[in-house]
Amino acid sequence: MRKIYFDNAASTKIAKEVLDEMHPYLDEYYGNPSSVHEIGKPLKVIIEDSRDAIADFLKVKPKEIFFTSGGTESNNFSIKGLAFKYLGSDMNHIITSSIEHPAVLETINYLKDKFGFEVTILKPDSKGRITKANVLNAIRPETFLISIMHSNNETGVINEVQEIGESINHNEIKLHSDSVQSIGKTIFNPRELKIDFATLSAHKIYGPKGVGLLYVRDGVKIEKYIHGGGQERNMRGGTENVAGIVGLKKAIELLQANMQNDIEHYSKLNEYLRNELNNSFGDSIIYNSQTERALPNIVNFSFDTNKVSVVEDMFLIQLDMKGIETSGGSACSSGSLKPSRILLELGRDEKTAMASLRISFGRENKIEEIDYLISKLKEIVKMK
């Protein structure tokens, strides 16, 4: 049976070049980077070379890069690391949004429930965005952290993060941005965006799972996250994932070489999919993704169940049975057969949210695969 993968926002296929680059560090170079002997010492150099290369891509300082296990850890590291510095002080207010990834919302709710931090959760506007005005209106004298994702993992919308960063006093308030989806799909420079913390996960950019990074602006102080060793400049204990770090570096190098072509490719597929949906289903399509100020690789849409018949709780399974692998939202909740929380926040009712798809393109997707998707949707979705 034909298999088509349209779930690249959940995870990309590791690039062959990345796999080849990693292999020696899973076999021949097996030492511990903290060791002082001949097998261990060169690995520390490899780690720092990788840090330099990645910092160059992001246009930041190498010392601002901390390697982690991925986006979830990076979000926890920055949010908890900053909050714990303010424990017991008058600075106890955090601003975030209702469309954040669970790695952000659950972390902030943990701080609220266990340590008494006060939290303001902002709603998106009619376009699904978190705006500067909304954030600035929520700031209080005791606010020390704003956490707003750069782009949403389900809709691809790009929030007004740079405008927020340019409008706050960074001596008093720090800006954290979950940027996992943005890297490689839009120009992303933490310094230009005025972000204090940014996150990256390798498996979203054709790298391996289990490795990522946290950017911490030089001069910002946070508490150590994982105790037990002096790795990562004594900020994250544990033996480094050398093969993963090497793979992340190679994935970044491929981005540097291919990013413009990638973006053009995603944009072409995005436009073609929308045209085919419009031609095939007309006004029964409700777009949850914008065409402006949005990532080019994500198209999120719902079927208007007043105009078409869809078996909502079987929709994704029916597509999977026809060889189309996609999702109705975040990979963290896609196995639950519940409506997307993000789409409910955008005002969709539960039935419409369940009749939704997030199509997220990758480098290997082709126009012909969209044609196949449309043909199978016509078999599954019946006009009333």
Catalytic residues: 332
As given in the structure block, the two tokens for residue 144 are 């020390």
Q: What is the distance between the alpha carbons of residues 37 and 43, in angstroms, rounded to a whole number?
A: 11
- CB-CB contact of 1 with 323 (8 Å): yes
- The answer to whether 143 and 82 are in contact (CB under 8 A) is no
Q: Which residues pair with 327 in a beta bridge?
A: 358
Beta bridge partners of residue 382, listed in sequence order = 309
